[in-house]
Structure 1
């Protein structure tokens, strides 16, 4: 322990402590001490190792996936909903176009896209997340990774998908959509097409973005440039295939 101008300073790797924050034990001492409670299992430094493990598992599972498209949509989409059928068609046609299909692994629209991909003989990926109201990945996933942390899972979507197709959904779907738009706006990702399937469902949002947010100068026209709105599954897949050819 050193001092600076009479103030106690202790350095612990990249961290330094001063004044009343200086502790009198060492990291090695606490590691080797087998007494006391196991509260350390739930502390932030230990969580870092869990987070690291999630990235390692995700990278390991998907590193050789090849070209892939992420399909998003509501877990609440019923099997009799017309958008469930569209999800199946999207999954199958993406496989025909040479893509793997990545979803959040849940029920509803995600299940539909995984089902279409799996039954078309393609790679059907589900990136699950620990939630209080969903139970694991759907039965049509043939590569599945479950995550504790949303940010680790989001990284996998963006790293391994070449574009997003977004079916009608709620808060989680909005989060994934605007995550992609934000990353494109800030130039964290490039050549990343985003297709919204469902003209009636999404038109109000796009009208508001253009009529209010863009008109008020909060975004630029280029920020909406990657967005395409359609009801045509073939068009959505063709846009993804065009992006694939561009990036090859």
Structure 2
């Protein structure tokens, strides 16, 4: 499904607001004003047509918010005692989620950990509203981010350990795909982290990827210490610089699995069902499925269902890597073949044994 959206203007500073108003802007339909103290801007706003504008988490002088609401604006107040900005206008960065690491702190005090702890506590209606507003804001930010980019997904098991062959293979896949595409993953550890790592280093020689893998192997897992695991990743990211962009779409539903630090943009959701659907939707160049367990099998058939009912123009390739795994260990391939037979999806499902073969198929489909 292709999404459309109208003209949106994001205002996140008083300087930007004042600049636009001074330039003569008077019709604010489509404006999204976030988190600003507007107590001194009431007169300017009353002089504008605000129908269709949104004021998210802003503060006003008494009565001004109500006036804007009556004039057709959407006015949503800030929700207190929530660790995240529910009206945020951009995706997360790894540094934002792991905000305590730069100062030598531990993961336990980070934004990511605090958000997970908050999400796990018994909540009231206001908490549920906060989660819904946050996920909507992230969804909107993600729509803006993917515009003009072509994404290929990599899905696989979260349990792949640094230093193990399956982790290295996922990293090599990300390295191959990242040379020509933006790689998207579920944003977590294991194969997801490896694919984001490989994509980040896609513009560098294979020897640099090998060196990064060797360095990360010293801290194989986020257990027992997320802090040590994240610090090792941060050291590698700093060593090799910014690199190619890639996307991670994790969820606080699985907050015990921390997000990886190699995705350059992170769309983190509270609702896993929303996250799963969005991850499949944004991968317009298809998805490569590495060996995994129940979660990866679910993703295979969730993607298959979308493609099964799609017409030819909307089908995205599905490439399963690992003949033994997908025909014997978890024999999803025979069922996928049976589902695809006679449908538009049939020519777009593939089973291969190597990540090199998968990368070639992705390249062909893009051409």
TM-score (norm 1): 0.71
In structure 2, relative to structure 1, the CA distance for the partners of 1:134 and 1:227 (3 Å cut) is: same
1:93-144 CA-to-partner distances (Å, cap 9, x unmatched) read 1122x10110011111111111101112322211111124212x21211111
1:7-47 CA-to-partner distances (Å, cap 9, x unmatched) read xxxxxxxxxxxxxxxxxxxxx9xx9xxxxxx944145x666
In structure 2, relative to structure 1, the CA distance for the partners of 1:126 and 1:132 (3 Å cut) is: closer
In structure 2, relative to structure 1, the CA distance for the partners of 1:151 and 1:86 (3 Å cut) is: same
318, 341, 351: which one aligns with 1:221: 341
Describe how 1:1-248 pairs up with structure 2 within 5 A.
39-42=124-127, 48-64=132-148, 66-96=149-179, 98-120=180-202, 121-130=243-252, 131-135=254-258, 137-161=259-283, 162-187=285-310, 190-204=314-328, 205-206=331-332, 208-209=334-335, 214=338, 219=339, 221-222=341-342, 225=346, 226-245=348-367
8 A Cα contact 1:129 1:153, kept in partner: yes
What is the CA-CA distance between 1:232 and the residue it aligns to? 2.2
In structure 2, relative to structure 1, the CA distance for the partners of 1:221 and 1:113 (3 Å cut) is: same
Q: Distance in 1 between matches of 2:287 and 2:126?
A: 37
Q: Distance in 1 between matches of 2:181 and 2:124?
A: 45
Moved more, 229-238 or 150-159: 150-159
- Runs of 4+ aligned structure 1 residues displaced above 6 Å come to none
Moved more, 221-230 or 175-184: 221-230
8 A Cα contact 2:187 2:250, kept in partner: yes
8 A Cα contact 1:67 1:244, kept in partner: no
What is the CA-CA distance between 1:220 and the residue it aligns to? 5.3
Partner of 2:225: none
8 A Cα contact 2:135 2:269, kept in partner: no
What is the CA-CA distance between 1:207 and the residue it aligns to? 5.9
Q: Distance in 2 between matches of 1:197 and 1:99?
A: 18
Q: Distance in 2 between matches of 1:220 and 1:102?
A: 24
Q: Distance in 2 between matches of 1:176 and 1:168?
A: 12
What is the CA-CA distance between 1:74 and the residue it aligns to? 0.5
Partner of 1:13: none
Count of paired positions: 200
Partner of 1:15: none
What is the CA-CA distance between 1:230 and the residue it aligns to? 1.0
* Gaps in structure 1 of 5+ consecutive residues: 1-27, 32-37
In structure 2, relative to structure 1, the CA distance for the partners of 1:61 and 1:220 (3 Å cut) is: closer
* Gaps in structure 2 of 5+ consecutive residues: 1-69, 71-75, 77-122, 203-242
What is the CA-CA distance between 1:200 and the residue it aligns to? 1.1
Q: Distance in 1 between matches of 2:132 and 2:353?
A: 43
Q: Distance in 2 between matches of 1:227 and 1:187?
A: 14
8 A Cα contact 1:191 1:243, kept in partner: no
8 A Cα contact 2:185 2:247, kept in partner: yes
Between Structure 1 and Structure 2, the one with more strand by share is: 1
